[in-house]
Amino acid sequence: MRWSPSGQDNIDDMRGRSGLPGGGMSLGLGGVLLLLVLSWATGTDFFSLLGGGGTTANDSAGTTGQVQSTPAEDKEIQFVNAVVEDVQETWEQVLGSRYQRTRLALFRDAVQSACGFAEAATGPFYCPGDRRVYLDLGFFDELSRRFGAPGDFAQAYVIAHEFGHHVQNLTGITARVEQDRRAGANSASVALELQADCFAGIWGHAASQSGRFQAGKVELDPGDAEEALRAASSIGDDRLQKMATGRVAPERFTHGTSQQRMSWFQRGMTSGKPESCDTFKSTN
């Protein structure tokens, strides 16, 4: 995957801040495995307990401290910024004036968002309350080591997935299904997550076009799509449940199976069109 630093700043660096626990947040990719273990161990469905937070956008500031970074981490931040810029440019082209830009907030260990308090174990997540994507860079290590999905396009897929939730929020899709808190193979939660995978594929379709490489742009190399498919497969509900408990329980699905996640990402990447991403008609 080829990329170059973007001239646009899309990142709020919150790595030197800390907050106090508040309400809930949308579950990120990395938090699924943790909550699965807790749910099975205690008999409590922790997924059903995730709700909206009671904090405001101003509460996200927390306590500011000194940010200590490394050259490797600085380069990773440049990569994230370039991907965010490219993803948002893609959606501006797809949706026109309906798309409203947002920002990605980097945090370390824990963060206070408008949706509540989140620890790094929660994984990347999108908060509708302040319309920001939240990311701890440490998740990329988890994606590679724990989930077996290394590669820069695998990381870019995760970012594009979360911005897919921003598109859902802007277009009213999130509001239409937010009352449905059920888990399960046919729940609105699964349909919402699979659609975000498909939306990530729409960006992948744009990034796969040859000859687009320039400052602030991302262009795929041969084999990059397989990285994203491997990442989608690695974080399917069935695989995560198998890792956590040795069993698969479809009634507790929240994101879809590995096959579903790969299929919907691939569908978006092939078509490049939002109308191909209607997961609410069928999650297959």
State residue 28's pLDDT score. Answer: 55
Whether the CB-CB separation of 240 and 36 falls below 8 Å is answered with: yes
189 within domain boundaries = yes
Q: How many domains does the chain contain in total?
A: 1
* CA distances in angstroms from 215 to 8, 40, 160, 205, listed in the order given: 10, 48, 19, 19
283 within domain boundaries = no
pTM given for the model: 0.81
Encode 204-266 in three state secondary structure.
Answer: HHHHCCCCCCCCCCEECCCCHHHHHHHHHHHCCHHHHHHHHHCCCCHHHCCCCCHHHHHHHHH
Is the predicted pLDDT of residue 22 greater than 90, yes or no? no
State residue 193's pLDDT score. Answer: 94
For the ranges 59-63, 102-106, 131-135, 240-244, the lowest mean pLDDT is seen at 59-63
State residue 57's pLDDT score. Answer: 37
282 within domain boundaries = no
- How many CB atoms sit inside 10 A of residue 71's CB? 7
170 within domain boundaries = yes
70 within domain boundaries = yes
Range of 94's domain? 2-277
Query: What average pLDDT does the chain have?
Result: 82
State residue 13's pLDDT score. Answer: 93
For the ranges 4-18, 81-95, 132-146, 214-228, the lowest mean pLDDT is seen at 214-228
Mean pLDDT of the 217-237 span: 84
227 within domain boundaries = yes
65 within domain boundaries = yes
266 within domain boundaries = yes
State residue 102's pLDDT score. Answer: 97
Q: What is the DSSP letter of 58?
A: G
Residue 240's pLDDT band, with cuts at 50, 70 and 90, is confident
